[in-house]
Amino acid sequence: MQNNKNRTSVKFYILLAIVVFAIFANNADFLPAVVRDAAGNTFNQLFSSGDFAITTSRILASLFAVAFCMLVATAVFMILSHVEKRNRRMLTISYLVKSLTNWVCAIACVIWILSILGIDISAALAGVGIVALVLSFGAQSLVEDVVTGIFIMFEGAFNVGDIIVMDNFRGTVRSIGVRTTIFEDDGGNLKIVNNSDIRNVQNRSRNGSLAVCDVGISYDSSIPAAEKVILDCLEKMWQENDGMYLSHPVYAGVQALADSSVVLRCRVEVREEDIFAAQRRLNRAVKLALDEGGIEIPFPQVVVHQAK
């Protein structure tokens, strides 16, 4: 992340130097006359109109337009990189604004270059409007994606960094764009979903989650003795893992009377990103504690009756 910010800063200062040089080159006395004249002609072409033609000055003016639009986009990215540090909500808005900035700057750059080259923008836009009308039925999904992306940002159903469950998929929100949202599962695999296809989402990061440990003891074992062992174990676990646990681990009681065991349940509130690690630690600690206390954890058994 820090390397990306450093690269963005370097890119900004390089583009700024190019733009400033291009603006003031025609008045720089230390430059050769040829360079000053070329810079002056280039600057005059930036906002001029005329017949279509490809000349050296217009090509240079087009390159200046590209550099200027990139400078604006990079400046926006630098500002957002400082704002997004505050919380996940600002990080989400930052990703969406960056996506919008890329689109707007790209479109503005194309229109500016067409104008520099002498192409009638109004006629071109009219033609684009006709084509867009023809293609509008095929672009409905794209419009849905964009509109849904905007609603995701304003409604705040989930933010970048939140853990969500969608259908049978569980993952972390990595970025929210104008058209797509990227999720990452526990294995590091990325899932790219069109915004309009995001439905029935559970946000597991809004509140604390429960790591649950269900352990079975034999019917011959003493429940009060097992409960004492578990309570002592939970107290020890709280002292050792107070950085992970959001509350004191709780013994919930007898969860079920299963075929081969009496199932006891204990739970602890944790952050969703820690739920699997907390559950593994809890299972291990309870198993070791019951073994040390002489409490049997049975395996499934089958009773066979022989007919007489």
Q: What is the pLDDT of residue 302?
A: 67
Please write the tens of the pLDDT for every residue from 199-234.
888 888 777 788 899 999 988 888 999 999 999 998
Q: Are residues 158 and 172 in the same domain?
A: yes
Q: Report percent pLDDT > 70 for the chain.
A: 72
Q: Model's pTM, two decimal places?
A: 0.55
Phi/psi at 238 (5° precision) = -65, -40
Can you tell me the distance from the alpha carbon of 67 to that of 19, in angstroms, rounded to the nearest whole number? 7
Shared-domain flag, residues 155 and 236: no
The reply to whether 162 and 84 lie within a common domain is no
Q: Write the secondary structure of 90-158 as one string of H (helix), E (strand) and C (coil).
A: HHHHHHHHHHHHHHHHHHHHHHHHHHHCCCCHHHHHHHHHHHHHHHCCCCHHHHHHHHHHHHHHHHCCC
Residues 16 and 124 both lie in one domain: yes
199, 189 Cβ separation under 8 angstroms: no
Residue 61, token pair as written in the block: 């003016």
**Whether residue 3 has pLDDT greater than 70:** no
Task: Please say whether the beta carbons of 207 and 164 come within 8 A.
Answer: no
Give residue 264's pLDDT band: very low, low, confident or very high (50, 70, 90): very high
| Cα(152)–Cα(148) distance, integer angstroms | 6
Q: For the residues 120-140, what does the mean pLDDT come to?
A: 57
Structure tokens at 245: 């646990």
Mean pLDDT for 252-266 is 90
Task: Give the C-alpha separation, 63 to 102, whole Å.
Answer: 17
Mean pLDDT of the 39-45 span? 57
When mean pLDDT is compared across 18-22, 90-94, 128-132, the lowest value belongs to 128-132
Query: 25-29, 230-234, 251-255: which has the minimum mean pLDDT?
Result: 25-29
Position 166 in a domain: yes
Q: Structural domain tally of the chain? A: 3
pLDDT of residue 35: 52
More confident residue, 136 or 190: 190
| 69 has pLDDT over 80 | yes
Domain that holds residue 150: 142-203
Does some domain include residue 303? no
Do 221 and 242 reside in the same domain of the chain? yes
How does residue 283 score in pLDDT terms, banded at 50, 70 and 90?
Answer: very high
**Phi and psi (nearest 5°) for 144?**
-60, -40
Q: Is 160 helix (H, G, I), strand (E, B) or coil?
A: coil
Kindly report which listed range (44-48, 72-76, 99-103, 185-189) carries the lowest average pLDDT score: 44-48
- Indicate if 183 and 222 belong to the same structural domain: no
Q: Is the pLDDT of residue 127 over 70?
A: no
Q: Of 25, 72, 71, 35, nearest to 56 (Cα)?
A: 35
Kindly state whether residues 125 and 8 are assigned to the same domain: yes
pLDDT over threshold 90, residue 265: yes
Same-domain pairing of 197 and 218: no
Query: Among the three residues 180, 203, 226, which one is the final residue of a domain in this structure?
Result: 203
Average pLDDT over all residues of the chain:
77
**How much of the chain exceeds pLDDT 90, in percent?**
11
For residue 11, give the nearest of 69, 98, 67, 74 by alpha carbon: 74
Q: Which of 4-13, 63-72, 86-95 has the highest mean pLDDT?
A: 63-72
Each residue of 144-154: pLDDT tens digit?
777 777 777 77
176 and 123 share one domain: no
How do 209-217 and 190-194 pair as beta strands? unpaired
How many residues in total does the chain contain? 308
pLDDT at 110 over 80: yes
Whether 247 maps to a domain, the answer reads: yes
- Considering the domain architecture, whether residues 254 and 172 belong to the same structural domain is answered as no
| C-alpha of 126 from chain center | 37
Same domain as 268, residue 222:
yes
Q: List all residues 6 or more positions away from 151 whose beta carbon is below 8 Å from its beta carbon.
A: none
Per-residue model confidence (pLDDT) at position 45: 57
More confident residue, 142 or 167: 167
**Other CB atoms within 10 A of residue 218 CB:** 15
Question: In angstroms, rounded to a whole number, what is the distance separating the alpha carbons of residues 165 and 37?
Answer: 62
* Alpha helix positions (H), the chain: 2-24, 33-45, 56-83, 88-116, 121-135, 140-155, 223-240, 275-292
For residue 204, what are the CA distances in angstroms to 78, 99, 100, 261, 275?
A: 31, 26, 28, 32, 11
